[in-house]
Amino acid sequence: MSKEKLLIPELRFPEFSNERGWEKEELGIISEIVRGGSPRPIQDYLTTDINGFNWLKIADVPSDSKYITETKEKVIKEGLSSTREVNPGDLILSNSMSFGRPYILKIKTCIHDGWIAIRKISNVTFEDYLYYFISSESSQKYFDTNAAGAAVKNLNADIIKLLPVLFPKNKKEQQKIASCLSSLDEVITAHSQKLELLKDHKKGLMQNLFPQEGEKVPKYRFKEFEKDGEWIQTTVEDNCLVKGRIGYRGYTTQDLVGQGEGALVLGGKHIQNQMLELKDPTYLSWEKYYESPEIMVEVGDIIFSQRGTLGDCAIINREIGPATINPSMVLLKNITCNASFLYYILIGDRIQIEVQKNRAMGAIPMLSQKQIKEFPFLIPKNPKEQQKIASFLSSLDDLVAAQVEKIEQLKLHKKGLIQSLFPKIIE
């Protein structure tokens, strides 16, 4: 083991404070690193037979999972000679695109050549500790620095073998670290499940607060509006202006500027969970901003995606300063009905079905402005009913947003803990 430098974590559990410095060893010394393999063409080896062999694809794995517990596909026995089987307790990580994210296997499965397996782990450590160490910022930075490729970076087994692994010699300390972080993962999982329940609850309410196909009144109606009669047929265009960026007023990357040098330009990346998200802002020159006054964004407007991730939308529910839209979006302005009500109509099932029905297929899926303008829906005649529905759903959105923020804070806390629980090298 290498002992050239003293390895001490910033944060250490009291019972181990008098223990010696940590050890450092290359991952390839304390485990076996192997690449997956794929029989080709894979379609010839896939099977629906329940007795087939598990076949794991990167796209099948939730990005926030710790464990692999199932696969969506299986392969026949004849494919085994061209792939690699891995076992419960092995770690795997992807070697391209979003590379370096580890997972612990709970099942036996075959992996293709987009996976790297870490197996036959030495008794100086164990899989849970390695999982958190490989997830740490220092390990991920090592992968990012050493990954090969220009446009698409990727890892190979040799790079992964050389990852410096830091660990306390006392495995009880390793276990304590892993248990601490695992407990925090359980809290994050519990809050994530609560978030999904809130989203499901909201979805169910929306299905009942708006008339379903063939109906002209909703299943659930606030008591004060029960005698207001049927909702009326309308379209998006009947309730607002639909504006997009005119082709000859487009822009190039040369028109993009820094913060304070232009207006915010909104695109698909600024819609997360059908809400406005400005963590990754882009700015457009003032010249280009003032060139298109018809798409200057104001509070109460709605942005709607007409290219790429179709149907995503967000209401501008707060002051965001001078802003415009990019060519992938349309802007709904001068809204004559309740703007929040229209927003909930747009994210509801009926409009989203219209989106999928009208989409033009190609390299980039798209909708025309004309199609968006003609989207049909039902609306209550009484503006007070529109407001009541919008306010009710908005209160649920507040709960969802608070839950999202809570999860983000827990993840930040976990990130800070990982940085403190693993040592820095002291010269």
pLDDT value at residue 123: 95
Residues 247-274: pLDDT tens digits? 888 899 999 999 999 999 999 999 998 9
Determine the average pLDDT of the residues in 125-130. Answer: 97
HSE at residue 392, side-chain half, CA atoms within 13 A, is: 17
The token duo for 74 is 């299986």
The token duo for 242 is 């639909």
Residues 214-228: pLDDT tens digits? 999 999 999 999 999
Task: Identify the bridge partners of residue 6 per DSSP, sorted by sequence position.
Answer: 426
Nearest Cα neighbor of 251 from 286, 222, 303, 216 is: 286
> How far, in Å, CA of 170 to CA of 159, rounded?
27
Percent of the chain with pLDDT over 90: 84
What spatial distance separates the first Cα and last Cα of the chain, rounded to whole Å?
A: 17
Residues 367-393: pLDDT tens digits? 999 999 999 999 999 999 999 999 999
> How far, in Å, CA of 415 to CA of 285, rounded?
36
pLDDT value at residue 2: 46
Residues in the chain: 427
The token duo for 67 is 């464990």
Task: List the chain domain ranges.
Answer: 23-167, 171-216+380-427, 232-379
CATH 1.10.1530.10 corresponds to the domain 171-216+380-427: no
* 296, 266 Cβ separation under 8 angstroms: no
pTM across the whole model: 0.84
Determine the average pLDDT of the residues in 319-341. Answer: 97
The token duo for 258 is 């820094």
* 126, 174 Cβ separation under 8 angstroms: yes
Q: Say how many C-beta atoms besides its own lie within 10 A of residue 45's C-beta.
A: 23
For the CA atoms of 43, 44, 50, 52, what is the dihedral angle to 10 degrees? -110
Per CATH, 23-167 and 232-379 having the same topology is answered: yes
The token duo for 220 is 């659930």
> How far, in Å, CA of 239 to CA of 235, rounded?
7
The CATH class of 23-167 is: alpha beta
Tell which CATH classification among 3.30.1220.10, 3.90.220.20, 3.40.50.2030, 3.60.40.10 matches the domain 232-379: 3.90.220.20
Q: Say how many C-beta atoms besides its own lie within 10 A of residue 54's C-beta.
A: 19
Helix spans in 333-382 (H): 339-347, 349-358, 369-373
Residues 333-373: pLDDT tens digits? 999 999 999 999 999 999 999 999 988 877 788 999 999 99
> How far, in Å, CA of 124 to CA of 171, rounded?
7
Residue 4 has pLDDT above 80, yes or no: no
**One-letter amino acid of 229:** G
For the CA atoms of 304, 306, 311, 315, what is the dihedral angle to 10 degrees? 0
Determine the average pLDDT of the residues in 53-66. Answer: 90
